[in-house]
Structure 1
């Protein structure tokens, strides 16, 4: 399982992982072809320089595999460099093995097909031009191959063209098919995340309506309570009305229950939250948010350390959704080990940094790299959809989420939010 986790690329390195496999296949086939041509078919070629180029390409592939283990995405420029190295290495190999007369000269096509599938058209066009220039140059400049059996030269060439076609078609079909399947899976995950997001939006709208109803009902309920108090006083003064004292007491109790329910509704719905787009002081807002969150998990010991005087932010509602997911995860981890959790707020440059730390069981490294990027089934029963929504929301408001964890030592989630410039 550990080996499979290492070989499986992260979601942000899916294309890079496919390139590694394609390059590995190409280097293996090319090395095998050189051995067969030089030993079995007695074709004279510069074997040592050819294997030197293949060795360098294999070393580059190993370095690429190491780079794939890092969570940072390579980006379009990095993928362009990867494919350019493949085209450059293939050009050198073709130059030393017959140039345009080599039956494997159309091996440029799988690389160009990959470029067209994963890169912007400018990068793909640049690679196509590089391939065209190299191919054109090798029409007249190359190291010729010498075949001992001249009568079989054409047969060898035809067999090589067949092998080149079969390998190129297989690699293109495999890459495009795999990428299409992964894109469909990602679309399905995003659709599920959007559906969950819509449900959350509906819950927020329902909470807003509940808060509005609580405000509207508060005044008439207070009036009823005042009248009930006056009636109780009047009944105490008149003996003939004493039979209604128990009824008035019951009414007062029911009014008290209604008022308590409305108060809880206000807190749960967040009726006092600032409106979207209006800058709020992050320290005061975070303290209020944490107090409201405690009602969700009253058994969890949560400590807040805030130091951000006069720091203001926007999009506090979106930030609240992010923190709600991260705090719920921290509470779940803390409950598993019966430990406390900490929340700290600090200002660094033009950003506010909110750090949520638990002392739970931690997250496995191979799982940690994938959280927030794809749907992941964890040992605790979660599917990772909450973190996918949190990361997507953070990108929308210009924030950044970083997760660090050690097995047995807990997890730290850091949210960096840009400050509002006065």
Structure 2
């Protein structure tokens, strides 16, 4: 379980070497052009030796990435952190030699923060944010002042303090806002990948009959050849009796194999309702087998005990079976004694209410149910029953909504306890 969590948490982290190299070349070119414009067109005196060495250091470090990494590979977390940290320090040196916080280009620190919070986990992000704030603070006190013979560039202290505060607040805002959105996106992508894998596995199981038919078709020819040769050898006069007995046994075994393959090759028609569709009552009874395996009692109630409702046909969709089974198993995990499946209908929908008599959903996460990695029960329940990744309800909701099915989760009204998941199936779609 731990390895799975680590894999998910690292999904999508790191930056492609090609992307990072291109961004750094843009930085080299941009810094060079800006310094020329500031010096020759705006008449500012700049410490050219220090600035040139700082830009040259960035260019050399960029060349160093070429032999160490394939251009299309992604850097791991550690390498990405070191590269961005080096870029932050290089930018700080450039700002240091060109006026400190009075330099309007100090806002470029925010680009590194944006890259950091969208590409790295919280540990590396925290390190780089602390480094940035530390360097910005140093630049407020120590720097090479900008010099212009025609302008008075004395910067009031209140301006420096205001610039530091604005950068600090913006960095925090970017961290929590962009970082939060990115984290949600990563979790959703990882959860959808897991849901897709489960769905593919379910569909692969459903396609085994097709594989069996193909195997029967391809093995039929070599088995026929073996049978033909064995029969011809039996009729040879110079074959010993013991060998003929073996050939008879071989022929019989070949016929048995052909019979088995023949039964496997009888692939049902895709138009056969017994195969492609399932009655609602049969579907619910099939789901309740999952509950029986856990030793939990169950009851299925149909509105007015309507026989037409019981025989309502649904397509055997993998999304439907997997989505409903997750909800039923979740109810069985957290009920104290019994799981109820109550079915009602109107002209437009069939409503299936799956309810247990456990503690119910935690109020703190009830509105967030359906989000990935949000466990659907209270802490005490998770300790008693064990806690997974919080993906079961998310997977069910995602798969069922693909079929146009709605899901609503809520708790029973007091004094009763327990959770209810209402699954609303449109009657006109038949899924």
TM-score (norm 2): 0.41
